[in-house]
Structure 1
Amino acid sequence: MSIKDSDLKHLITMSCKNNLGYMYFLNNIVIIEFDEGVHVDLKNTKSLFKQLKKYFGENKPFGVVANRVNSYSVKLLDIPAFRNQLKNLSGYAVVGHDPASIMNAAIESNFCLSDDVGHDNIYEAIFSVNNKVKKRLKAS
């Protein structure tokens, strides 16, 4: 289910569309819903990073929840480079809604340096990422 169709839609402060899909901004978290069939890699994420930096700045801790409402691919070897682009990224989660997307979330978890990032519902993912952001805010 898309965040815009959930009972959490009232938390959305801003949304935008880019070449990869939709971004829904909450206070300290962005929910990204990539379009069907896109391939996410370092070459095509420039506008995504620009929008993240515009909303959160260079220093404010924030988190990302990838809500897998569509099927897409990620160049897993680019994940460390993604993190280098976003020094203030404090938490990341992937929500899978079917067996294939849950499996992809588990695979992505293996390439992340944080705890298990795969979740089967948006509420759990937002809670987890928000806690990581809060810890980073307290530490700064």
Structure 2
Amino acid sequence: MLVAESNLKYELEDVYILSTGVFYFFEDFIISEINEGVHFNWEAAQDIIELALNHYGSGSKISYISNRIHSYSIEAQDWLKFFKQRHTLRSFAVVTYSKSGLINVMMEKIFFKSKIKTFENLYDAAAWVSTHKPTIRDKSMVS
């Protein structure tokens, strides 16, 4: 389900449409919908990081939902660059709609410093990030 087709659109604070995808900014989380065929890497991530810093302010703890409605690739090891720059997330959720999407998340978990919570629908992911308030280093997070 696209964010634009959901009831979540009524809670939006801002939307950024970039060449890599659409990024929806809410009160304390971001939902991404990366475009079909994109190779999402550190360079592309920096654009979103800059937008998030401008929107939420430095030091804000936000959550990130990757709504994987399209097929695209991720440079999974670039998560190491994210953490090396001392960036943090409160929590990270992935909405995946296929078995191959789950396999991709398993590969991404190798480089991510904490757990990634997976969901089969956008509403459950949004509810979880809205109620789950640990920092990314919280070991109680489940996947």
- 2:16/2:22 contact within 8 Å kept: yes
- 1:16/1:22 contact within 8 Å kept: yes
What residue is the counterpart of 1:74 in the other structure?
74
The Cα offsets for residues 50-83 of structure 1, whole Å up to 9 and x where unpaired, read as 1111111111110110000111111111112123
Q: Give TM-score, length-normalised by structure 2.
A: 0.83
Deviation, 1:25, is 0.8
Q: Which has the higher helix share?
A: 1
Deviation, 1:47, is 1.7
The Cα offsets for residues 96-132 of structure 1, whole Å up to 9 and x where unpaired, read as 0122223322332343222242221112222333334
What residue is the counterpart of 2:117 in the other structure?
117
Structure 1 window deviating more from structure 2 (47-56 vs 100-109): it is: 100-109
- 1:17/1:23 contact within 8 Å kept: yes
Is there any run of 5+ residues in structure 1 with no aligned partner, and where? none
Q: Give TM-score, length-normalised by structure 1.
A: 0.84
What amino acid is the match of 1:23? F
- 2:91/2:134 contact within 8 Å kept: no
Aligned-partner SS, 1:115: coil
Q: What RMSD, in angstroms, separates the aligned Cα atoms of the two structures?
A: 1.9
Identity %: 26
Is there any run of 5+ residues in structure 2 with no aligned partner, and where? 136-143
State the number of aligned residues: 135
